[in-house]
Amino acid sequence: MKFLHISTDNRFVNSAPTAFEKVAEGQNEYWIIHEGKPEIVKVPITKLIAPCDVAGMNLAKELNDYDIVFLHSLIPEFYPLINNANDKVKFVWLGWGFDYYDLLHKKLTLPKTTKLCGGQWRYRLRELKKRFVTKSYKKKTSLFPKIKYFCPVLPHEHKILKDKYDNLPDYFEWNYGALNPDLIPADHMDTRVNGENILVGNSAHPSNNHVELFQTLKKINIKDRDIIIPLSYGEDKYREKILPLLDDQMKPITDFIERYSYMDIMQSCSIVLMNHRRQQAFGTIVIMLHMGAKLYLRSENPLYQRLKSWGVTVFSIEDLAHDQSDFFTPITKEQAEKNRQAVTDYYSLENYCKRTEALIEKVVYDR
């Protein structure tokens, strides 16, 4: 059998061979759609395709040679290829989050962050441009009948989308990564938090809702702790608006940092605050839980309930906004160990491979 993986130059696809090669060694090929030499992808590239060449009919015909075609996200660069493909091609959409959140129609920013970004009307205009000016919204849903299965990050997200779109592809539970060097370097597997700093957000994107979080933190006596704010990727304009709001204890990360150095920074943080209304930064959250950090999420974030269902001790940012008295109370050793075990159980390499094998079997034998 032959399996094809189609991706852009991104880090998510790098973890795919870990499971797919264990389950189907030598049977996977990778097409990367990118202009010029990829800088992030580490997989063995079978074919490098310029975006302007994706619409070629000969390229679509080549898909007939594969038993399954895995789409690593569903983005406009892939649309012509899917549209031109034979109806017998078995596509599987491995969702990332950003590639289907336009379909959920959920406003991602809170009032004060929305105001910082230019106000409600600018936010609405931005969303309208995404959906209607590029017409990607209409094209995306029109491709659903050609896709066999959709694997979102969280099961609940499929349910929400299914209620909106009858033609949504069927659900299958699969997600990237395992607690191995793909996610945590081998020599950091036994690492535990060893500092009292605070990690806030994961990117320079308005969905982090930094403004509301800064307002809450100002109510707390941080003492000599640093507040670490990753801003190295995201939106330049938003980063420029956030930086003037920071005080001396707020330490922004604005440049890309080597992986081991970033792990050392995370290890210094015993508290993690993620103010997203959607699931986001799942990889960072898993790493921090594995290290034993105390985690705060918005309770409306689907990830909050997902972690709760695993038995993870996670705290509500909405509650923190009203009562900061227990902010520095650490989680117990028992809670930290239970959190660590919960993410270890789900993200073990064995279970990652089992999910991958089950997905392949489901699609190959599904008539």
Question: Whole-prediction pTM value?
Answer: 0.86
Q: In which element (H, E) is residue 171 found?
A: strand 170-171
* Alpha-carbon distance values, 78 to 64, 82, 130 (Å): 16, 6, 16
Rounded to 5°, the CA angle 306-309-314 comes to 75
Task: Name which of 271, 268, 276, 339 is nearest 308 in CA terms.
Answer: 339
Ranges of residues in the chain with a pLDDT under 50 are 133-134
For residue 9, the model assigns a pLDDT of 93
| Domains annotated on the chain, with CATH | 3-177+349-364 (3.40.50), 186-346 (3.40.50.2000)
Return phi, psi of residue 264, to 5°.
-65, -40
Q: In which element (H, E) is residue 3 found?
A: strand 3-7
For residue 260, the model assigns a pLDDT of 83
DSSP E strands, 50-169: 68-72, 91-94, 147-151
For residue 131, the model assigns a pLDDT of 52
Task: Name which of 215, 234, 223, 179 is nearest 198 in CA terms.
Answer: 223
Residues 6+ apart with CB under 8 A from 26: none
Rounded to 5°, the CA angle 306-308-314 comes to 115
For residue 107, the model assigns a pLDDT of 86
Return phi, psi of residue 296, to 5°.
-115, 125
For residue 207, the model assigns a pLDDT of 94
Residues 6+ apart with CB under 8 A from 227: 197, 198, 200, 217, 249, 250, 251
